[in-house]
Amino acid sequence: MSFDRPDKHGPRQDDALKKQTRDLESSGRESHVEEGREAEPPGEDQPSVDLSPEGDLVGGTAAGMEPQDVIGRAELARWLQPSVFPATAERLVASATETHAPDHIVRMLKSLPPHERYQNVQDLWRALGGGTEDVEHRA
């Protein structure tokens, strides 16, 4: 009894399919099968994407902030649980310790006045001397 299975090929056809796939993979182009997944080019009023940024990619920075403020505030927020706010320095240090924050983050939080209350990461970053958005210049 012979079974014809459409999903099986002979060795010659297998080799030909492997060659097509190998050539496609090494070409560096998207496959036609993946056409729907290709990135669309930016629109007329959109900036082009830099696939190899030499610096930190932080997006736009608001008035009153420098790129290092965006990075620093994000780093700080990464190690604090959102539910901790509003909080005192003591509670912030405890939250950072619970999330295994790096030593430099814990040291920054320990440098805060002990009885001050911080409403959010923005408020905290400002107290640490970081630049924050200049809300008076918003459109």
Element (H, E) at 87: strand 87-88
Question: Is position 5 within any domain?
Answer: no
Question: Is position 138 within any domain?
Answer: no
pLDDT, position 87: 93
Question: Is position 24 within any domain?
Answer: no
State pTM to two decimals. Answer: 0.52
Bridge partners (DSSP) of residue 87 are 118
pLDDT tens profile 9-26: 677 877 777 777 776 666
pLDDT, position 33: 55
Question: Is position 86 within any domain?
Answer: yes
pLDDT tens profile 69-126: 788 888 889 999 889 999 999 999 999 999 999 999 999 999 999 889 999 988 998 8
Question: Is position 128 within any domain?
Answer: yes
Nearest alpha carbon to residue 85 among 113, 120, 128: 120
Q: For residue 56, is pLDDT > 70?
A: no
Q: How many domains is the chain built from?
A: 1
Its domain, for residue 93, covers 67-132
Question: Is position 58 within any domain?
Answer: no
Question: Is position 36 within any domain?
Answer: no
Question: Is position 84 within any domain?
Answer: yes
pLDDT band at 67 (very low <50, low <70, confident <90, very high): confident
pLDDT, position 22: 72
The secondary structure of residue 114, as a DSSP letter, is T
